[in-house]
Amino acid sequence: MTYSHTDAFYIDRAWVSPLGSNVIDVIDPATEAPFAQLAMGSQSDVDRAVAAAKAAFPAWSQTSREERLAVISRILDVYKRRFEEFAQAISTEMGAPISFSRDEQAAVGVSHLEAVIDALKDFTFEETLENGDLLVRGPIGVCGLITPWNWPVNQIVLKVIPALAAGCTMVLKPSELTPISAILYAEVLHEAGVPAGVFNLVHGEGPVVGAALSRHPDVAMMSFTGSTRGGVAVTHDSADLVKRVALELGGKSANLIFADADVDAMVTAGVQMCMGNTGQSCDAPTRMLVERSVYDQAVDVAIKACNAITVGAPDQEGDHIGPLTSQMQFDKVQAMIQMALDEGARLIAGGLGRPEGFDTGYYVRPTVFADIHNDMRIAREEVFGPVLVMIPFDTEEDAIRIANDTPYGLSSYLSSGDPDRIRRVALRLEAGNVNVNGGYIAAGSPFGGYKQSGIGREGGELGLEEFLEAKAISVY
């Protein structure tokens, strides 16, 4: 399949030629072969896109709630009609199995957008305080949006749509590894009638285009999703201008399983959630903490659950995992598995190398390590691949201590048959989300982390607030 507009940027409601000549290959992770060439942007391209966004801001910022709702509703309609194109593109560019791409990767483009519509309908932009003053919330200005490769549409929607809803204009820099879904989304916004300059798209590398956005004096806010290292770079680049920075970063999420839980079901679910999306999710439950009295049982279940996970090609229908997204990610995961072995971790499933039958493509073996100590590097560093570590604990206090003993705090998972314990432990976990007994937070709930997992929240009302400034007006 050929894709259009890979040689252009979307600026001021037109596809325009880059001001430079740099291009890169876009690689199919299943074949390791290029399937498209992508134009890469420069400082000059960013300047042109930001100028368009700045010019569009006065008019778009003054549109009514109803006008914005109408535009966003049209975006939803166009996206639904082109849904299969997104599913196929994500499957090709990041290696997501086509069933997973439809059911999860492309599907969140609908659920998150609907949640923003719900939040916008009920959002209070103006209110009178008890002291009589008027509190007004208005759009912050031009926003720079940087999105990752692992959930490409998910993150585009969670930034672009709230920014639109708030009355902001924007420049999007998607990951150069997964640019096709971003190009398709620009086409959707164009067809839905988003006015000129309100949304702009420039491809490029983080140290070039991302840094240019972060340092640009006319960009009021940066919203970044990616690695903690990348988030630090965006923050540094934005600091001199004291611009707002919203970050959704890495994680090493704990999955606490108590003896009074349905151990077999929750361990199986925990393994599957860790391995889903080939482990390339920032909130994946990669540290499984199990009460010692049922730990041996949990290890046996984890072995069976991991060995039951199949690896398959992205175009193959069914419930399996695909390749990692890039050679760099493949090399990193292999190095992390080797590091765990060198640390003395007990390998109980998977291991180094590709799965049997896969000589080409960035495929890896679903892997589980047992008898891990939380001070091992494999328990502290984000792998971003299908690698799970299992850690025993003795008491509730012990579980909470181990869970919170991490530089991250994006998400957590908790299984117990005792509602009082669930509430007690959930309130003490230092994480932005707590998913209970196999459940997962719904679209519209805020998503984001404590500590080095980020600043701010995405989704629903809090996600909308990220793009707003508050103004107090005295009694008049």
Round to whole Å and give the CA distance between 233 and 231: 5
* Amino acid occupying residue 259: A
Q: How far is CA 59 from CA 64, 168, 185, in A?
A: 11, 10, 23
Is the separation of the CB atoms in 377 and 398 below 8 Å? no
Round to whole Å and give the CA distance between 300 and 277: 23
Residue 346's Cα: distance from chain center in Å? 30
Round to whole Å and give the CA distance between 415 and 304: 20
Shortest CA distance to 416 belongs to which of 401, 392, 396, 397?
A: 396
338 CB neighbour count, 10 Å cutoff? 12
Does residue 248 have an active-site annotation?
yes
Q: In three state form, how does the secondary structure of 85-147 look?
A: HHHHHHHHHHCCCHHHHHHHHHCHHHHHHHHHHHHHHHCCCEEECCCCCEEEEEECCEEEEEC
3-state helix, strand, coil in the chain (%, to 5): 45, 20, 35
* Active-site option among 93, 104, 176, 248: 248
Mind telling me the catalytic residues? Answer: 248
